[in-house]
Structure 1
Amino acid sequence: MPELHQLTATQLLEGYRTQAFSPLDVAETLISHIDQWEPHINALYTYRPESLLETAEASTRRWAKGEPGGALDGVPITLKELIATKGMPVPGGTGLGEQAVAREDAPPAARLAEDHALVVAKTTCPDFGMLSSGLSSFHGLTRNPWKLACNTGGSSSGAGAAAAAGFGPLHVGTDIGGSIRLPAAWCGVVGFKPTLGRIPIDPYYVGRCAGPMTRSVEDASLMMTALARTDRRDAMRLPPEEIDWLDLSLEMKGLRIGVMMEAGCGLPLDDEIRRHVEQAAKQLEAAGATLVPLAPVLTREMLDGLDQFWQARQWGELLKLSSEEREKVLPAILAWADGGERLSGVAALQGFQQTMAMRRATEAVFDKVDAVISPSTPTIAFPAEWPSPSNDPRQPFEHIAYTVPWNMGEQPAISLNAGFSSPETSPALAANMPIGVQLIGPRFDDHFVLKLAHQLETRLALPLRWPMLPA
């Protein structure tokens, strides 16, 4: 029998219903578990055990009366620190500039509060959320629970580490170029980036989504019942839609699944990742789907154009800081973003236009296939102290080539664990580390992507595996 902190959200809710255990029992177990793990991985921000116990006691009283306050009452969650919560500042990974206290919960936090989920803590992120790394000038270094010498990826770095280490079953990240799926892949968990606007978010921006990070597709689907509720603060939100997120049944026969093994540019694909993704694709084929080889959607021109636009955008954010404050930002961010100072307005606009090119290229894919399977990342692991897998501040986006097109195209995409690397064929740093596989569907078909992921997860049938607490 798994320990309480290892149970899924679905299992916790069933235990509360049958009074096998209470939310207070779970909170006390979780606090003990976090106390053992957190000094090693540094995943949490504003962790307040006493507040968690208070809310758990209130939840326990509601369940004892048979009157839970919502669909997630008593289930522990974390929220990425970029998601505003009332009464707390949003340091943005730096703690610099104006640190106004949030006057209200951002939409994802508000929806989970409505369902009486138990907020364990906020989770860490790198400076401005602009690195796929656990490195932050404010939070310090977040490490991967599977191997402390390895990076979590980012920018939902703390969420990925917390999910992998068992800091509760439900976590919320944000994703503008892969920031949910990349740490999900490197930390061996599920990370779902929905269609733009499916989960309302504030502030909203081109490609920016919030989404679940969990240890099962079923739990990600459960989170969608709350997170997908509408909120007028997001002017890019989708119209409200009645979706039975918990129905994960799917007829596989007749589906055409595009297999996109090459990214088109960026870092080369590790051979072991290729093997795992090919094996995952064969599982879908065995279930009745037809596999269709696909060419990559991303080009060098697209990625470089986006890089230029994001440099200009980031330089604009840095200009809001004093010169003394800018010196406190991570050197990798400064070395990259100062290129934005030298860009002309025309060059920045031309870079932004590449997001439209990505939208056109990604949408055209679904004229040929119903879904796409690809790697989530090109590399298995990289050192914890690096700002990106390339460790080159002038080329910080070489690892997002599999994920970023689907942000700009707005399609739903999910990463789930496809297995672990072999110690016989991998370098020492990358041995016995998780490998992610990505599934993508057409815009607005989020439910289908979750159903497909559930089918793959079921067929992979990976044995339950947890990181070992460091000695």
Structure 2
Amino acid sequence: MSLADLTATELLSKYRDGSLSPVEVIEDVLARIEELEPRICATYALDPEGARAAARESERRWRDGSAGRLDGVPTTVKENIATRGTPVPQGTAATELVPATEDAPAAARLREAGAVIFCKTTMPEYGMLSSGVSTFHHLTRNPWDLSKTPGGSSAGAAAAAAAGYGPLHIGTDIGGSIRLPAGWCGVVGIKPTHGRVAVGNPYPGRAIGPLARTAADAALALSVMSGYDPRDHTSLPTIDDTYTEELTVQGLRVALLLDSGLGLPVDPEVTAAVSSAAAVLEKGGAIVEPIEPIITREMLDGLDRFWRVRSAADIAALPEDRRAKVLPEIRQWVSTAGDLSGFDVFHGYSQMGAMAAAVTEVFRSYDVILSPVAPITAFRAELAYPTDDPSKPFEHIAFTVPYNMSAHPATTVNVGWSASGLPIGAQLAVPHHQDLTALGLAAYLDTERREWPTA
């Protein structure tokens, strides 16, 4: 196995016993990127020399006994999470490139723990697409099939995780932007409880979380990043939640949501894979019960209207020359914002609360909600939206967006493959502050995969 494919927990063990050095590992990761990046295009602001210098410093800390919790672990950070000295283009050529003056809270926590942040990762236009389409970055592609999207908006993070650009990759999520690409790239991704990781620029539904090849690595990164930061008034103190792969599912009350009730129809292959995951939990002693759709068309359409007006206001504030650089599909989407009344916008905003109430009601009866991450497998890379229709941009997020609005943690795990070889992800949503429990369930499903029924 290449050093680039080792997990964070494996690397830390080898650093600890002296059998491996961070300097060796970063060279292997950089070689992997040099080989694959011309086709995948997942990185932004790659800094090989800075990475080598950071790895040497980490090697020194391991020698003198001052290593941190992630010391020497290669880590990427999504480009909209500020890192000192690097501009934050937000995936669009319309942004003025001004270097960030400081690390955002999550990046600062990682650096304090000794992580080697060697590059940023790509995102689509303003993070408003579930694809890798951007007017600033090259088109990011799915490592499993280069003709397909990795998903978005944490496009580069998911692609980098799947391609083995080191073990840890940090993304953001406001409607599914960690979980959708994680599902489509076959990796673990978690949108944590709102406030668990300080964002720095908080907004309703916005969260920062890790993508990794294992749940244990995601749990480690999440625990390092979590905690209060005065730059984010919504951030929470560090929460006492223990990660374990030894949890029991006996008696676990599982709500099985196979139909979101709106948007794109669920592909039969997706239904079969998630149903197989439910059967694994049931075999372990969980009580699995199908449930009706959680959210309504009114809720999703209302959110669309509110987000459209919010984005229209941001774009209207740009100088005309920069406004013209915004992706045409985004400009087309916001072009109807002026047709909406104040009542329409307020009603749209209120649907975030309606979604939160609907999800919370389910958790009165169940311990976990199991569903697909997306109704379909990865779509064509060049498309901004799976519908290829800017007037219908959110027809694929009905399984993911409710937990942004309700602030519940939700994680993904690969549960199968399509006939064409594309990953299929399942989503596990749990009550507030049980983030590491969700990751433990993901690890349980992953461990039990060899005994799964054939779909």
- Provide TM-score, normalisation by structure 2: 0.97
Identify which range, 250-259 or 175-184, moves more after superposition.
Answer: 250-259
The 1-side partners of 2:429 and 2:204 are apart by 18
Mapping 1:424-435, distance limit 5 Å: 431-435=420-424
1:24 aligns with 2:13: no
Mapping 1:7-406, distance limit 5 Å: 7-65=6-64, 67-245=65-243, 247-406=244-403
Moved over 6 A (4+): none
What amino acid is aligned across from residue 151 of structure 1 in structure 2?
T
1:461 positional shift: 4.3
The answer for the alignment partner of 2:431 in structure 1 is 442
Q: Which residue of the other structure, out of 435, 455, 466, is the alignment partner of 2:444?
A: 455
Length, aligned pairs only: 452
The 2-side partners of 1:51 and 1:268 are apart by 46
What amino acid is aligned across from residue 56 of structure 2 in structure 1?
E
1:462 positional shift: 9.3
The answer for the alignment partner of 1:427 in structure 2 is none
What amino acid is aligned across from residue 265 of structure 1 in structure 2?
L
What amino acid is aligned across from residue 259 of structure 1 in structure 2?
L
Q: Which residue of the other structure, out of 402, 412, 417, is the alignment partner of 2:414?
A: 417
The 2-side partners of 1:73 and 1:294 are apart by 44
What amino acid is aligned across from residue 159 of structure 1 in structure 2?
A
- Contact 1:419-1:462 at 8 Å conserved across structures: no
What amino acid is aligned across from residue 416 of structure 1 in structure 2?
V
Change (3 A) 1:38 1:26: same
1:97 positional shift: 3.9
The 2-side partners of 1:20 and 1:462 are apart by 34
SS at match of 1:418: strand
SS at match of 1:136: coil
Q: Deviations over 1:196-250 (max 9, x none)?
A: 10111111100000001000101011112211132121111123333334x3431
Q: Deviations over 1:405-463 (max 9, x none)?
A: 111011100011112112xxxxxxxx101000000001222122122222112111499
What amino acid is aligned across from residue 456 of structure 1 in structure 2?
L
SS at match of 2:60: helix
What amino acid is aligned across from residue 438 of structure 1 in structure 2?
Q
1:320 positional shift: 1.7
Q: Deviations over 1:132-162 (max 9, x none)?
A: 0100000120011111100111000000110
How large is the RMSD of aligned CA atoms in angstroms?
1.3
Change (3 A) 1:196 1:331: same
The 1-side partners of 2:239 and 2:93 are apart by 38
1:64 positional shift: 2.7
The 1-side partners of 2:288 and 2:242 are apart by 28
The 2-side partners of 1:72 and 1:461 are apart by 31
Q: Deviations over 1:249-279 (max 9, x none)?
A: 3121111101000011000000000000000
The 2-side partners of 1:248 and 1:217 are apart by 9
The 1-side partners of 2:157 and 2:238 are apart by 27
- Provide TM-score, normalisation by structure 1: 0.94
| Structure 1: tracts of 5 or more residues without a match | 423-430, 464-471
- Contact 2:239-2:433 at 8 Å conserved across structures: no
